[in-house]
Amino acid sequence: MQFSLTEDQIALRDMARAFAAEAIAPRAVEWDEKKHFPVDVLREAAALGMAGVYIRDDVGGSGLTRLDAALVFEALATGCPTIAAYISIHNMCAWMIDAFGSAEQREKWLPSLCAMDKLASYCLTEPGAGSDAAALKTRAVREGDHYVLNGQKQFISGAGNADDFYIVMARTGEDGPKGVSTIVVEGGTPGLSFGANEKKMGWNAQPTRAVIFENCRVPLANRIGPEGIGFKIAMGGLDGGRLNIGACSVGGAQAALDKAIAYMRERKAFGKRLDEFQALQFRLADMATELEAARTFLWRAAGALDAKTADATTLCAMAKRIATDTGFQVANAALQLHGGYGYLADYGVEKIVRDLRVHQILEGTNEVMRLIVARSLLGR
């Protein structure tokens, strides 16, 4: 087991960190306050290869590994977890086409996704089907050489922008997971509409809307893979998506820890700097240790996914659970170390806490992650 990074991986991580520090971090609080989705900055990230990290290079991807991706998303999240998380979702959508699409579909769609000329959204969750995703009701009925879609998706990140692209899980057959197919719906398709931008606790720098299909006609050629494998595609995407969101949690928490250390070196109480109190030193040590443990586990799970081992799905669920729980706990502890100042928007810590809270819910709640692990242990 190799725990050290190669020179190329260190260079990749440092490049992403530098981009986060220069292009994202200085404006992150403003984007949050104004609910601004910085598409121009997303495309700058794409120009550096971060919109198709593990997409094959014949269509404009970077052709890197899942471990490389974990390094990239952690680094981006030090600037803003919200922006890093959206880029991770975009990558997950592109991967579905790269892994399951035809040669024609890959050539048609992936170059524009890797450049972020099109912004991708993942449409699985519905108002009545969250954790129980196999119960989804959105239906796609064949009519000639088209599908007609009717239904609604809920909590869709990035939805409603002009340059949009939706990977939709829709029911084309029987109830349950075997009746689900994956269909691409391009922005501007008649019958496609959106709900209002949701008011959220965090993640304010990316829009979250309902995506609504009303007699939305889509060519049969937009189906990814054969009918009935959509749930497999969705779950395959979530293995990597869980690693990505875990990496975003670690990166956001690392930024919060760094802010706390800097604050403690300056702030004085009872005649001493805060970093001179042993009790607070121990708190920092625990935060850093727990964060490093989560990071190391993410790397372990990423290696398993790259190697396609039999336990990869279980390890990805474990990694997602521990990274997102740890990330939130460390960020919350960093806020506490700031005292009252941590509660103010100016310091940026409260934003990180708000952003990281949802990571314990999305890409499968952490309760579902425990269920996946338990079923693996019990052979169910």
Residue 10, strand partner residues:
none
CATH number at residue 208: 2.40.110.10
Distance separating alpha carbons of residues 239 and 324, to the nearest angstrom: 14
Domain boundary among 188, 212, 228: 228
Along the 380 residues of the chain, how does pLDDT read in single tens digits? 567 899 999 999 999 999 999 999 999 999 999 999 999 999 999 999 999 999 999 999 999 999 999 999 999 999 999 999 999 999 999 999 999 999 999 999 999 999 999 999 999 999 988 788 888 999 999 999 999 999 999 999 999 987 789 999 999 999 988 999 999 999 999 999 999 999 999 999 999 999 999 999 999 999 999 999 999 999 999 999 999 999 999 999 999 999 999 999 999 999 999 999 999 999 999 999 999 999 999 999 999 999 999 999 999 999 999 999 999 999 999 999 999 999 999 999 999 999 999 999 999 999 999 999 999 999 87
Residue listed under structure tokens 């314990």: 360
Closest residue by Cα to residue 353 from 369, 338, 370: 338
Residues 237 and 217 in one domain: no
Query: What does the CA dihedral 206, 208, 213, 216 come to, rounded to 10 degrees?
Result: 0
Residues 28 and 165 in one domain: no
8 Å CB contact between 124 and 132? no
Residues 244 and 336 in one domain: yes
8 Å CB contact between 216 and 150? yes
Domain that holds residue 321: 231-378
163 inside domain:
yes
2 inside domain:
no
Domain boundary among 228, 251, 271: 228
CATH number at residue 286: 1.20.140.10
240 inside domain:
yes
Going from the C-alpha of 265 to that of each of 1, 52, 277, the distances in angstroms are 37, 39, 11
Strands 119-123 and 164-171, bridge-based pairing: parallel
CATH number at residue 70: 1.10.540.10
Residues 374 and 348 in one domain: yes
Residues 99 and 182 in one domain: no
Residues 306 and 359 in one domain: yes
154 inside domain:
yes
Catalytic residue among 33, 290, 363, 367: 363
32 inside domain:
yes
Residues 252 and 304 in one domain: yes
Domain boundary among 85, 118, 151: 118
Residues 223 and 235 in one domain: no
Residues 109 and 159 in one domain: no
Please report the DSSP string for 145-205 in residue order: TEEEEEEEEEEEETTT-SSEEEEEEEE-SSSSGGGEEEEEEETT-TTEEE-PPPP-SS-TT
Residues 210 and 243 in one domain: no
- Catalytic residue at 363? yes
1 inside domain:
no
User: Whole-model pTM?
Assistant: 0.95
